[in-house]
Every structure is written in structure tokens, then in C-alpha cells.
Amino acid sequence: MDFQLADIFEAGARAIPDRLALAWGGGPTGDGELTYDALDRAANQVARLLTDHGVSAEDRVGVHGYNHASFIVVTLACFKLAAVPINASYRYTATELAYVFADAGVQVVVTEPELGDVVADASALMPHDLESIITFGDELDAAATALDDAPLTVTGRSGDNRYILYTGGTTGMPKGVVWRHEDIFFGALGGDGVPRQGFPALTDPADAGAWASAGNPVRVRMPLCPLIHGGAQWVALTTILSGGTLVLATDRSFDAATAWRLADRFDVELIMVIGDAVARPLLDALPAGHTAFPALRFISSSGAPLSARMRVELTEALGDVRILDRYGASETGGHGRLLEPDGSGRLRLRGDATTAVLDDEGHVISPGSRTVGRLARRGHIPLEYWNDPAKTATTFPIYDGQRWAVPGDLATVESDGTIVVLGRGSIVINSGGEKIFPEEVENVIKAFAPVQDCLVVGLPDDRFGQRVVAVISLRGKSATRPAASAALPSLAPDDLVAELIAHCRQQLAGYKIPKRFVIVDAVERKITGKADYDWARRVATGTLVE
């Protein structure tokens, strides 16, 4: 049986043609809606346009744009052709774009009108020029709507078609994670259903129409992060493939007021955020005197965990809304949901049967052994990293005939089977031989009321090898914020340092407590919401004045 993403979408569109598939609002595109039938026909037209530009099965197509309906249409059009959409950040420079497009072997790019110049500059830097640059908006719409919107006849579709997601990780250059359609569908796009809510897995592609017609119990979803982010793509595709309604806020930068307006208008049931970086402004913009959003059932975080304080504030403000922290990676799909914070600052999750912690020899670590190993997943996992066999061998090893995805998170297993995630091995700080996990320290610091956001890094130290430094931003009304005349970034004032250290000592061993606290106006994160440790290290290094 073949589970190909376009086949599944088309079966749903035939079964529920008049159901609302996609709605959007804000930004230059204004508000709009597409039914499943209209979305399917629009994707057919764009698929024919891509064919006219030479795109065929397994060709890679750069998708370089903001959140809007056409991003989804182009993505579905690629799936219809058995082609591969390649996500590329709209923040990338020409050099960064050239790297991604050259690495992926992209020949055709769909971009924004205002980003056409940077794509052209990227083309000039590549070993081969791009063959076509198509722009979203009037050019794409005019060219596509002139074409036939009837179903296409395409050879080469199968569950083995490739889906490639370029990661925006915390370290290194972006890497293309290669999934089969069937594996991404079951590993990250909802193909396994929600059995505990009565929504079964799709076991036969011939039943895809009826499956979508029944609909995922969480039908209306709104991801508040860029569609170039894997988490947002996965929420979007999960929604559309399972017969739901995807709601997009299309402002060029995040506008919390737009998000609440759309949540109210379309009865959004799930809002996806990226940790506190999105949840904080969303909560701060909650309409005064609101009586609640009766349809809203879940706030889900992906890409970065919510702080314990933020979870409490969201619950207090939104009542019965459930707070979900999802843990996973581009290389694994979902490991599961994080458990409620226990005050330790460490992330804890209850994995499923596909999740384990492995030692260096690939053996599954026994619960309660206190052994530190690597968090891993088996089953529906990626094939490889694109063009990187060495990294593939490290991240997707085979132990005793079993393939695993092991992206590098260190973890232990408690006696009751709870997995405690310690952090990414590549960013662990070594101070005097003690291993310090930045995420643990960050979570403790972010629980301190005046702190808005935080990143923790290790800087060179003559005595201990590395010292722990925290880069923090403060909430706007904090009494401990430096005077307006103070230059930022700057070292935190002594009274704030004393309060921070006292707070940290309640939960952290002394060697984990930062030796310096650097204050910035805003902690910078990557567009995906992930930590930008290179930026934090540069900022922290710039304040080292003995």
C-alpha cells in the first residue's frame, strides 16, 4: 500500500469538497477562504505551471516565502507532481540561500516579489544558475489561473516519494532531512490518528476520503510561526490531510491582535506557538475583558518548550485550555508530549513504544539506571541527510538490525519510565569537568518573574575550561531593568545579580549558576524559534571586561 501525500489530500478533497480547508487574515493579502475543492483546483493549476517550468518527479523546488495561502498551494502542487518542496528562510542572505539551493539541487524557486533580488543574487553564487524564479502574488496568480484546474495524470507517485525538510538547528549549517512520504505521514503528519479520542489511524489509503470526512477531533488549527519551520508545516499538513481547517495569520511579522481576531472568527481549537517567544506577546495581547474563546481547547508549543511560569499564566488567563508541550525534531518526528514541569528545570516526557534512550553501543538503557544516553526513535523515521553520508551514519545508525534516529539529545530514564531530557550534546558546557546543560539553567532562570527570555552559553575560562554566562532580556515593566541611559548589552546590576543567584540556588548546584548575567533588549532566536547560541556567545563575549 502506498501512502502518498497528494493522493491522501485529493481523496479528502473529493470526499469533503465544500468543507473549509484554508482561511487566512492580516498582512497584505487581507482575509480569505478556500474550500477543499478550491484548494485542490488551485494546486492543480500551480502544478501545471511548475510543469511548464520543467519540474517533474523528484525535482526539488525552492519555496521561499511568508505565511499565506499560496505557500500551501505550491507545497501541495509539488506533492501532486511527486516533486520535493524545499523550505528556505525569508531571512536568509544570498550566501545562505545559495548554500541551501545548491545543496538541494534546486532549479526552480518560488519567492516573494520583494525577495526576488536576493534570490537572483543567490543564483549568481551557485555552481549552476537557477532556471526559473517565480514570484508569489500577481505573477503566480495570473500564470496559474490561466491553466486547467482539472486533476492531473502523473506517473511516479508513491509512498517512496521524498519529502525534504531543511533544519534550522541550534548549530551548524542547515541540513536536509529526507523522509519518505509514508514515513512522514505516520511519523509527523497525523496518519497514526488520535486513538484515545476515537480517531483511528489510516490503515488503507483507499479509505483516505472517509478518514478525512470523519475528521481529526481537533479540527481547526492555527500555527503562529513561519511555514518554513518544520513544526508549522507539520501542523498545517496534519490539519489539511485529516479534513480540518487550517487558519493562517499572514502578517509579515507576528501580530498577536490578528491571531486573537482569527481565533475568534474561525473558532480555532488549537493554537501552536514556539515557546515563550510567541506565547508571551500572545498572552499580553489577550483582549481586555474577554469572556473566553469557547472553541479554544489547546495551546501547543513546538520548537521550544514553554516555561513553567508561562504555562501557569496561560492557564490562569484561558481557563480550561490545555497546555501541550511537544518534543521532537526534524530527524525524529514527535517523541511525545512533555510532562508538567516539576521545578527541576529539566524537561520530562513520557515516550511511546518507538522512543528509547540508547547507550554508546546502541543498547536500550534500563529505567532507573541513571545512565546518560542519547534519545532515539525507531519506526517511521527519515532515510538520511541529503548529500551527507557521514552525518547520516552518525544520526541514523543501525544497531542489531534496527534503524534509529538519534539527533543528539542526551537523556536518562527514571525508574517509572519517564525520560528526562538533559539537552543537546553539542552545546553542553564543561566547567571544571562538570557537564552543564544550558536548557536546564535557562528554564530555571526563565521562572524568575522579571526575566522575559534567556540563553545560556559557555565561554573560555583559564581555570575551569568554561564559565557559564546567561544572556537575558527583562520584561518591560520590571523594576530591575537598567536605566534608559545604560548601554545594552550590559552586565546586570549587582542587585539583580544577587536576586538571580538566590533564585538559582534554590534549584541548581553552585557550578551550574551563571558567573555573569548579560542584559539585552531582546534575546535573539532563529526564525524557527530555536536558540541562537552563536549570537548569544558573541554577545556574552563582547561584555567580558575583567
| DSSP per residue, 273-311 | E-HHHHHHHHHHTSPTT----TT--EEEE-SSPPPHHHH
Same domain, 374 and 504: no
Angle, vertex CA 217, rays to CA 212 and CA 222, nearest 5: 90
Note whether 423 and 530 are within 8 A (CB): no
List the pLDDT tens digit at each of the 546 positions of the chain. 689 999 999 999 999 999 999 999 998 878 999 999 999 999 999 999 999 999 999 999 999 999 999 999 999 999 999 999 999 999 888 988 999 999 999 999 999 999 999 999 999 999 999 999 999 999 999 999 999 999 999 999 999 999 999 986 545 678 999 999 999 999 999 999 988 788 899 999 999 999 999 988 889 999 999 999 899 999 999 999 999 999 999 999 899 999 999 999 999 999 999 888 889 899 999 987 776 688 999 999 987 788 888 899 999 999 889 999 888 889 999 887 888 877 776 788 987 889 999 999 999 999 999 899 999 999 999 999 999 999 999 999 999 999 999 998 889 999 999 999 887 777 889 887 777 889 889 989 999 989 999 999 999 887 788 899 999 999 875 555 565 545 667 778 889 999 999 999 988 888 899 999 999 999 998 877 788 898 999 999 886 543
C-alpha 326/C-alpha 305 separation (Å) is 8
Q: Is residue 341 assigned to a domain?
A: no
HSE (side-chain half, CA atoms, 13 Å) at 105: 9
Looking at residue 122, what is its pLDDT? Answer: 96
Looking at residue 546, what is its pLDDT? Answer: 39
Same domain, 363 and 320: no
Looking at residue 302, what is its pLDDT? Answer: 86
405 bridge partner residues: 377
Largest CA distance in the chain: 70
Looking at residue 291, what is its pLDDT? Answer: 66
> What is the model's pTM?
0.86
C-alpha 64/C-alpha 110 separation (Å) is 6
Note whether 41 and 74 are within 8 A (CB): no
Q: Is residue 72 assigned to a domain?
A: yes
Say whether 451 sits in a helix, a strand or coil.
Answer: strand
Same domain, 152 and 226: yes
Q: Is residue 331 assigned to a domain?
A: no
C-alpha 481/C-alpha 486 separation (Å) is 10
C-alpha 156/C-alpha 309 separation (Å) is 50
Q: Is residue 340 assigned to a domain?
A: no
Query: What phi-psi label fits residue 156: left (phi over 0), alpha (psi between -120 and 50 degrees) or beta?
Result: left
Looking at residue 391, what is its pLDDT? Answer: 93
Spell out a b/e string for 337-348, using b for 16 or more CB atoms within 10 Å of the CB, else e: ebeebeeebbbb
Q: Which of 241, 331, 322, 256 is nearest to 290 (CA)?
A: 256
Same domain, 15 and 153: yes
Cell of 367: 529505567
Helix %, strand %, coil % for the chain, to 5? 35, 25, 40
Q: Is residue 311 assigned to a domain?
A: yes
The phi and psi torsions of 10 (rounded to 5 degrees) equal -65, -35
Report the CATH number that the domain containing residue 464 is assigned in CATH.
Answer: 3.30.300.30
C-alpha 532/C-alpha 155 separation (Å) is 42
Total of domains in the chain:
3
Q: Is residue 332 assigned to a domain?
A: no
| CA separation, residue 283 to residues 256, 273, 276, 279, 527 (Å) | 8, 11, 10, 6, 20
Cβ-proximal residues to 232 (8 Å cutoff; 6+ apart), any chain: 67, 223, 225, 226, 272
Looking at residue 545, what is its pLDDT? Answer: 44
Residue type, 444: V
The torsion defined by the Cα of 422, 424, 430 and 434, in degrees rounded to 10, comes to 20
Cell of 537: 556567545
The helix (run of H) or strand (run of E) holding residue 147 is none
Looking at residue 492, what is its pLDDT? Answer: 80
Q: Using alpha carbons only, how large is the chain's radius of gyration in Å?
A: 23
Same domain, 418 and 432: no
- Among 375, 394, 423, the domain boundary falls at 423
C-alpha 525/C-alpha 226 separation (Å) is 13
Looking at residue 326, what is its pLDDT? Answer: 84
Cell of 431: 566547567
Note whether 510 and 455 are within 8 A (CB): no
Note whether 488 and 521 are within 8 A (CB): yes
Q: Is residue 26 assigned to a domain?
A: yes
Same domain, 311 and 351: no
C-alpha 433/C-alpha 334 separation (Å) is 33
Domain assignment of residue 462, given as a range? 428-542
